[in-house]
Amino acid sequence: MSKVIDYASALPPLPAPDYLHDGTGLRSWLLTVDHKRIAVLYMISLTFFFMVGGIAALLIRLQLLSPNSTLMEAETYNRMFTTHGVIMVFFFLVPSIPAVIGNFIVPLQVGARDMAFPRINLLSWYLYVIGGLITLYAIISGGVDTGWTFYTPYSSLYANSKVVPTVIGIFISGFSSILTGLNFVVTIHTMRAPGLTWGRLPLMLWSLYATSIIFILGTPVIAITLALVGVERVFHLGIFDPKMGGDPVLFQHLFWFYSHPAVYIMILPSMGVVSDIIACFSRKRIFGYGFVAASSIAIAVLSFLVWGHHMFVAGESVYSAMIFSFLSFFVAIPSAIKVFNWTATLYRGSISFETPMLYALGFIGLFTMGGLTGLMLATLAVDVHVHDTYFIIAHFHYIMVGGAVMGYLGAIHYWWPKITGKMYPDIWGRVSAFIIFIGFNLTFFPQFILGYLGMPRRYYTYPEEFQMLNVFSTAGASILGVGYLMPLVYLLWSLKYGKPAGPNPWGATTLEWKVSSPPPKHNFASIPLVTEEAYDYTKEPTNAA
d(CA 249, CA 55): 32
Contacts 24+ apart (CB under 8 A), 461-466: 461/67, 461/68, 461/69, 461/74, 462/64, 462/67, 463/67, 464/67, 466/67
Chain-centre distance of CA 294, in angstroms?
20
207 vs 282 by CB, closer to another protein: 282
CB of 290 to another protein, least distance (A): 7
17 vs 290 by CB, closer to another protein: 290
CB of 352 to another protein, least distance (A): 4
CB of 440 to another protein, least distance (A): 15
31 vs 74 by CB, closer to another protein: 74
157 vs 185 by CB, closer to another protein: 157
Exposed, middle or buried, 449 (CB in 10 Å: 0-12/13-18/19+)? middle
CB of 261 to another protein, least distance (A): 20
CB of 122 to another protein, least distance (A): 38
CB of 509 to another protein, least distance (A): 11
Note the helical H segments in 191-247.
203-235
Burial 520-530 (b: 16+ CB within 10 A, else e): bbebbbebbeb
314 vs 431 by CB, closer to another protein: 314
CB of 4 to another protein, least distance (A): 21
Dmax (CA) for the chain in angstroms is 77
Q: Could you tell me if 63 and 77 are in contact, meaning their C-beta atoms sit under 8 angstroms apart?
A: yes
CB of 191 to another protein, least distance (A): 28
**Side-chain half-sphere exposure of 173, counting CA atoms within 13 A:** 28
Contacts 24+ apart (CB under 8 A), 457-465: 457/388, 457/389, 457/390, 457/392, 457/393, 458/78, 458/81, 458/147, 460/63, 460/64, 460/69, 460/72, 460/73, 460/74, 460/77, 460/78, 461/67, 461/68, 461/69, 461/74, 462/64, 462/67, 463/67, 464/67
352 vs 531 by CB, closer to another protein: 352
384 vs 482 by CB, closer to another protein: 384
d(CA 93, CA 91): 6
CB of 514 to another protein, least distance (A): 19
Q: Could you tell me if 473 and 447 are in contact, meaning their C-beta atoms sit under 8 angstroms apart?
A: yes
CB of 256 to another protein, least distance (A): 14
d(CA 471, CA 480): 14
114 vs 316 by CB, closer to another protein: 316
291 vs 434 by CB, closer to another protein: 291
17 vs 315 by CB, closer to another protein: 315
Contacts of 143 (CB under 8 A, 6+ apart): 79, 82, 83, 161, 162
CB of 341 to another protein, least distance (A): 8
101 vs 406 by CB, closer to another protein: 406
264 vs 448 by CB, closer to another protein: 448
CB of 535 to another protein, least distance (A): 8
291 vs 428 by CB, closer to another protein: 291
DSSP secondary structure code for residue 149 in this structure = T
Contacts of 441 (CB under 8 A, 6+ apart): 366, 476
H-run or E-run covering 140: helix 118-140
Q: Could you tell me if 510 and 2 are in contact, meaning their C-beta atoms sit under 8 angstroms apart?
A: no
CB of 500 to another protein, least distance (A): 19
Question: Could you tell me which residues are beta bridge partners of residue 422?
Answer: 500
Q: What string of H, E and C letters represents the secondary structure of 438-504?
A: HHHHHHHHHHHHHHHHCCECCCCCCCHHHHHHHHHHHHHHHHHHHHHHHHHHHHHHHHHHCCECCCC
8 vs 453 by CB, closer to another protein: 453
CB of 435 to another protein, least distance (A): 19
H-run or E-run covering 529: strand 529-530
Q: Could you tell me if 165 and 135 are in contact, meaning their C-beta atoms sit under 8 angstroms apart?
A: yes
